[in-house]
Amino acid sequence: MAGGHDRRALARALTAVENETPEGEALLQRLAPRIGQALRLGVTGPPGVGKSSLVNALVRELRRIGRTVAVVAVDPSSPTSGGALLGDRVRMGEHALDPGVFVRSLASRGQGGGLSGSTGSVMDALDGHGFEVIVLETVGVGQAELDVVKEAEVVLVVLAPGTGDGIQALKSGLLEIADHWVVNKADDPGAEATLSDLSQALLLRADGHEIQDRIHLVSARDGRGISALAERLWSESIGSEASDRRTDLRRRSLRTRLLRAAMGQFSDRLERVPADLEVESLAAGASTLASAARSLLTKTLESNS
Amino acid sequence: MTMRKIKVLVAKPGLDGHDRGAKVVAASLRDAGMEVVYTGLHQTPEMIVEAALEEDVDVVGLSVHSGAHLPLFRRVLTLLREKGMDDVLLTGGGIIPPSDRAALEAEGVGRLFGPGAKTSDLASYIRAEVAKRRPAPQS
């Protein structure tokens, strides 16, 4: 895996990709044939459940079974200053000098959904570089911030006792996006109760009985359950089913990015097209909003550049 | 295409367990619009430089209150140079006597800020230095 100067080159490439510069785009194009090999694990859940600690513990176990791992950790940007405080490395210090681990923090940069707009591209670059597992840690998800499913092949939803978010999680649809449910802080006396609430909630699903073995009680602090979870995730990532899943994910992610890019180009053009005629026509009662919009749309599509 | 933000690593090297200052600095740089990676306490120079490399930061800021500022700043500067990261600004602060500050600055460390320094001065200093080192447009 990447040694000294190679790591520096990778780090710089990730910056270009994150900032969507022409160099970044060219790099992704070059890497395209090699992208789609890595297992992409999404780790999400309410704030304070120990996502970073869990990721740290999972990385340790994945390393123990010989896998190379990249971590992409997303933290929120401040809507007022545009700055961000990226603190996920605090819990990942033990891997700092391991050449088989690469950690990159991303600011969400105004993008809702718990991810940054270029998260998928950054993961692509790490994938194309040869990391076997890419762990994506989202910002603490509140409600309806569930974009992680668009960028991860396997989604872990993490809950913990005492955070009071179990019920919120049920409401938000957070539980529905999971492939695995992880109750962290097994060393906490409330963990059994959280586990049983979760099992009850999931039993209401049509596939309730089949998914009971996808519920895991772990402790990132003392390591309980972590190696079993890591081994299971890795073994399920091998084979044709996983490979199909990866192909689907790649197509889905590319489609999302393509639509976003096209919308960006379109709205740039739209803003340059004069709309005075349509506004006057609306003011005079000569057209409806829908017909005025259609007229503007036609003009925009006929405009150059 | 998004504009590139200034990215800063704020780290606490060495053994002192006093990270309030570092956290205040990290929050103030965030409020100045920068993306700040905070690595926590008890970082070795090797860990700090590796994190700076992986995160591709423009600036490394060290907070040192242990009295070990001379070897710590020197070691981080050496490692940055060894990794070809000469363009990364190394700055920081803490309890550092003026003579040591001058010595480190002469060796290539950026400006060092003492207890009483305004965080807004640090942000403007970083902005000006990064603009010099990086021709691309700033935000």
> Tokens at residue A57, please?
């513990």
* Distance in angstroms (rounded) separating the CA atoms of residues A216 and A229: 8
Asked whether residue B138 is assigned to any structural domain, the reply reads no
- Cβ neighbours of B5 in A, within 8 Å: 82-83, 107
Residues B31, A14: C-beta atoms closer than 8 Å: no
Which has the minimum average pLDDT: A21-35, A105-119, A216-230, A269-283? Answer: A105-119
Are residues A16 and A117 located together in one domain of the fold?
A: yes
SS3 A215: strand
Q: What is the mean pLDDT of residues A77-95?
A: 90
Q: Is residue A248 part of a domain?
A: no
User: CB neighbours (10 Å) of residue A5?
Assistant: 11
| Residue B2: inside a domain | no
Residue A249 lies in a domain: no
Show the tokens assigned to A7. 């790591």
Provide the domain limits for residue B56: 7-133
Say whether pLDDT at A38 is over 70.
yes
What is the ipTM score, two decimals? 0.91
Residue pLDDT, tens place only, A25-35: 999 999 999 99
Q: Is there a single domain that holds both residue A265 and residue A166?
A: no
pLDDT, mean of residues A110-138: 88
Distance CA A290, CA A11 (A): 48
Residue B1, in any domain of the structure: no
Q: Decide: helix, strand or coil at residue B70.
A: helix
Among residues A281, A275, A264, which one has the least CA distance to residue A298? A275
Is residue A15 one of the residues assigned to a domain?
A: yes
- What pLDDT sits at residue A76? 87
Q: What is the tally of helices (H) and strands (E) in chain A? A: 11, 8
How sure is the predictor about B8, in pLDDT bands with cuts at 50, 70 and 90? Answer: very high
Q: Do A128 and A38 belong to one domain?
A: yes
Question: Residue A49 contacts by C-beta under 8 Å, 6 or more apart in sequence?
Answer: A158, A159, A160, A163, A165, A184, A185
Q: How far apart are the first and last CA of chain A?
A: 43
pLDDT of residue B115: 83
Does residue B13 form part of some domain?
Answer: yes
| Cβ–Cβ contact A90 with B under 8 A | yes
CA distance, residue A75 to nearest chain B CA (Å): 10
**Could you tell me the CATH number of the domain that includes residue B129?**
3.40.50.280
Instruction: Give the HSE-up count for residue B106: Cα atoms under 13 Å, Cβ half-sphere.
Output: 7
Contact list, B40 vs chain A (CB under 8 Å): 87, 89-91, 93
Instruction: Identify the weakest region by mean pLDDT among A65-79, A170-184, A251-265.
Output: A170-184
- Residue B1: pLDDT over 50: no
Asked whether residue A18 is domain-assigned, the answer is yes
CB within 8 Å: A86 and B37? yes
Residue A49 lies in a domain: yes
Q: What is the pLDDT of residues A156-177, one digit of tens each?
A: 999 998 765 555 556 667 778 8
The whole-number average pLDDT for the span A49-61 is 95
Q: How many domains does chain B have?
A: 1
Q: What value does the mean pLDDT take over residues B67-72?
A: 94
DSSP code string of A284-298: TTSS-HHHHHHHHHH
Share of chain A above pLDDT 70, in %: 91
| Predicted pLDDT at A299 | 92
What torsion do the CA atoms of A238, A243, A244, A249 make, to the nearest 10 degrees? 110
Residue B51 forms part of a structural domain: yes
Listed in sequence order, the residues at least 6 apart from A36 whose beta carbon sits closer than 8 Å to its beta carbon are A127, A246, A247, A250
Count of domains in chain A? 2
- In this structure, the answer to whether residues A198 and A74 fall within a common structural domain is yes
Distance CA A80, CA A66 (A): 43
Same domain? A39 vs A96: yes
Please report the beta strands in chain A, taking only residues with DSSP state E, as ranges in sequence order: 39-44, 69-75, 84-86, 101-107, 133-137, 154-159, 180-183, 215-217
In a domain, A115, yes or no: yes
Same-domain pairing of A234 and A262: no
User: Are A150 and A272 in the same domain?
Assistant: no
CA B112 to chain centre: 9
| Cβ-based contacts of B34 with chain A (< 8 Å) | 83
Range of the structural domain that residue A63 is part of: 4-241
Residues A237 and A276 in one domain: no
Mean pLDDT of chain B: 91
The model's confidence at residue B51, banded by pLDDT at 50, 70 and 90, is very high
Asked whether residue A203 carries a pLDDT value surpassing 50, the answer given is yes
DSSP B1: -
Task: Give the C-alpha separation, B88 to B90, whole Å.
Answer: 6
Cβ-contact A12, B58 below 8 angstroms: no
Using the 8-state DSSP alphabet, how is residue A144 labeled? S
CA separation for the pair A23, A17 (Å, rounded):
8
Q: A82: which chain B residues are within 8 Å (Cβ-Cβ)?
A: 5, 33, 139
Asked if A264 and A111 touch (Cβ cutoff 8 Å), the reply is no
φ, ψ (nearest 5 deg) of residue B131: -60, -35
Amino acid at the residue A167: I
A82 reaches B (C-beta below 8 A): yes
Please give the model's pTM, rounded to 2 decimal places. Answer: 0.90
pLDDT at B54: 97
**Where is mean pLDDT largest: A149-153, B66-70, B89-93?**
B89-93
pLDDT at A143: 44
* Residues whose CB is less than 8 angstroms from the CB of residue A25 and which lie 6 or more positions away in sequence, other chains included: none
